[in-house]
């Protein structure tokens, strides 16, 4: 079987790495891929959002399975196009991707089908939104409707800030059409976690719960990023809580989409807020795996990822039953470039990677890298995801940071506290 993975981040490296272990997979291509992916797959220089280029390549190479990593190609209808060509593709159709690409669609769906989320109002007119927030008492949240590269949500602490945010989105158009409609919702206080499931449109099959670290600096300080690290499992999400999330959120959402005429296949990712560690509320949905959550999750997976994906595509996910996992804890520490997240430096030589090859319980997933001769150099903001498995949270954290100490590139920055939140919940 020839497989094509679309994307070039750490998430896609983890997907390619896991698929390469399947006996059913003969050859893997990646568009566009990255330096690390190039060691186990053939990277093709086509833009990941070039739908015509991707579909032409898939047809020419007689690809047997396409796995879509990031949200942008999903929003452009890549799955719809490949479905019409009878090429099996893992990911939701364009209308299904609205669960991520439109906050208004997602919130309205949750309200209609009684999926727990924060109370909200939506606005497409600036003056109406301004009048509404004038009467609100902070804190509350303003979210742009569309995709803004992870920067479209604002926790408001005072009225002046709210007016500035609203004007930037709806009048100045800082994110173009993505910010011309907004959601204003109540602020939920609690503990965040990520809950990601496979689905064939009828059944959901959960992966391990995980917790991302979104801000750049230790102690959850600094600007928001795409994610500076993650760990799995999460101590306070036990079997009973998983069943509650499956029943009241994941299954209900898939059935809600079906009720709207959308047969949703692929991955459903719920960003959750837990009030008092007991009641889960949906902050947002994504239509794909998380990054960096995918790295520690797939590193801990024993089951054949290819078989699960094909079961989703063929509508027989119920037959899979459950996923087999390695024992212990998995932690991923992201190494980022100087200047990230605003203006990351590029072209810096990465040293020390050879020292970590074939080290038991450690894997370095590449994100913003490219290969130049026999060296890897930085080519983006998030560069590497150093991932380890240990018998305990402390063991996994120690293994991950010991591996980090072997790597060096100019301007390298990373958080020193990835995974430490787990100790608060034990």
Q: Identify the H or E element spanning 57.
A: helix 51-60
Residues 309, 91: Cα–Cα separation, whole Å? 9
The sign one gets for the Cα dihedral 349, 351, 353, 354 is positive
Say if strands 182-186 and 120-123 run parallel, antiparallel, or are unpaired: antiparallel
CATH architecture of 119-186: 2-Layer Sandwich (3.30)
What pLDDT does residue 356 have?
A: 95
Judged by DSSP in three states, 423 sits in: helix
Domain with CATH 3.30.470.20 in the chain: 191-425
Q: What pLDDT score does 407 carry?
A: 98
| C-alpha to C-alpha distances, 36 to 33, 151, 214, 296, 366, nearest whole angstrom | 8, 27, 23, 16, 5
> Using CA atoms, how far apart are residues 407 and 34, in angstroms rounded to an integer?
18
Please give the structure tokens belonging to residue 60: 């020419």
Token pair 């990822």 in the structure block, residue:
305
**CB count, 10 Å around CB of 177?**
10
Residue range(s) of every CATH 3.30.1490.20 domain in the chain? 119-186
The pLDDT of residue 215: 94
Q: What was the pLDDT predicted at 426?
A: 82
Query: Under 8 Å CB-to-CB from 128, ≥6 apart: which residues?
Result: none
pLDDT at 151: 79
Residue ranges of the chain assigned to CATH 3.40.50.20: 2-93
Fold that domain 191-425 belongs to in CATH: D-amino Acid Aminotransferase; Chain A, domain 1 (3.30.470)
Buried b (16+ CB within 10 A) or exposed e, 134-163: eeeeeebbbbbbbbbeeebbbebeeeeebe
What's the number of CA atoms in the CB half-sphere (13 Å) around residue 365? 31
Output the CATH code of domain 2-93. 3.40.50.20
Residues of the chain with pLDDT under 70: none
Distance CA 369, CA 347 (A): 9
Lookup: tokens for 280? 């889960």
Question: What backbone torsions phi and psi does residue 28 show, to the nearest 5 degrees?
Answer: -125, 135
- Which residue has 């994100």 as its token pair? 367
Q: How far apart are CA 347 and CA 371, in angstroms?
A: 10
CB of 332 within 8 A of CB of 386? yes
């Amino acid at each position: 079987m020839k497989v094509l993975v679309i994307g070039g981040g750490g998430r896609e490296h983890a997907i390619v790495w896991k698929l390469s272990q399947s006996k059913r997979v003969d050859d893997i291509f990646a568009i566009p891929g990255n330096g690390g992916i190039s060691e186990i797959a053939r990277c093709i220089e086509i833009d990941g959002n070039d739908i015509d280029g991707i579909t032409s390549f898939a047809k020419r190479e007689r690809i047997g399975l396409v796995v879509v990593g990031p949200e942008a190609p999903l929003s452009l209808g890549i799955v719809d196009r490949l479905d019409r060509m009878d090429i099996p593709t893992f990911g939701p159709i364009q209308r299904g991707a609205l669960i991520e690409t439109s906050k208004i669609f997602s919130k309205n769906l949750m309200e209609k089908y009684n999926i727990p989320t924060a109370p909200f109002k939506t606005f497409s007119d600036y003056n109406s939104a301004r009048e509404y927030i004038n009467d609100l008492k902070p804190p509350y949240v303003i979210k742009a409707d569309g995709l803004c590269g992870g920067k479209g949500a604002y926790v408001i602490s005072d009225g002046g800030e709210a007016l500035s945010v609203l004007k930037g989105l709806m009048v100045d158009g800082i994110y173009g059409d993505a910010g011309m409609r907004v959601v204003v919702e109540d602020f939920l206080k609690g503990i965040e976690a990520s809950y990601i499931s496979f689905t064939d449109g009828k059944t959901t099959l959960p992966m391990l719960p995980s917790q991302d670290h979104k801000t750049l600096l230790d102690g959850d300080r600094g600007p928001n990023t795409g994610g500076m690290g993650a760990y799995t499992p999460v101590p306070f999400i036990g079997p009973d809580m998983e069943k509650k999330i499956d029943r009241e959120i994941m299954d209900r959402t898939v059935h809600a989409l079906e009720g709207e005429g959308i047969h949703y296949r692929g991955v459903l990712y719920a960003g959750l807020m837990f009030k008092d560690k007991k009641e889960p509320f949906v902050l947002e949905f994504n239509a794909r795996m998380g990054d960096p959550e995918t790295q520690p999750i797939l590193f801990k997976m024993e089951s054949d990822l290819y078989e699960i994906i094909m079961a989703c595509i063929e509508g027989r996910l119920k037959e899979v039953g459950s996923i087999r996992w390695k024992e212990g804890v998995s932690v991923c520490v992201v190494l980022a470039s100087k200047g990230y997240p605003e203006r990351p430096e590029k072209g810096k030589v990465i040293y020390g990677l050879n020292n970590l090859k074939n080290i038991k319980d450690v894997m370095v997933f590449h994100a913003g890298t490219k290969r130049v001769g026999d060296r890897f150099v930085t080519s983006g903001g998030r560069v590497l995801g150093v991932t380890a498995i240990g018998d305990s949270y402390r063991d996994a954290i120690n293994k991950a940071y010991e591996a980090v100490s072997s790597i060096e590139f100019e301007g390298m920055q990373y958080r020193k506290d990835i995974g430490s939140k787990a100790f608060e919940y034990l």
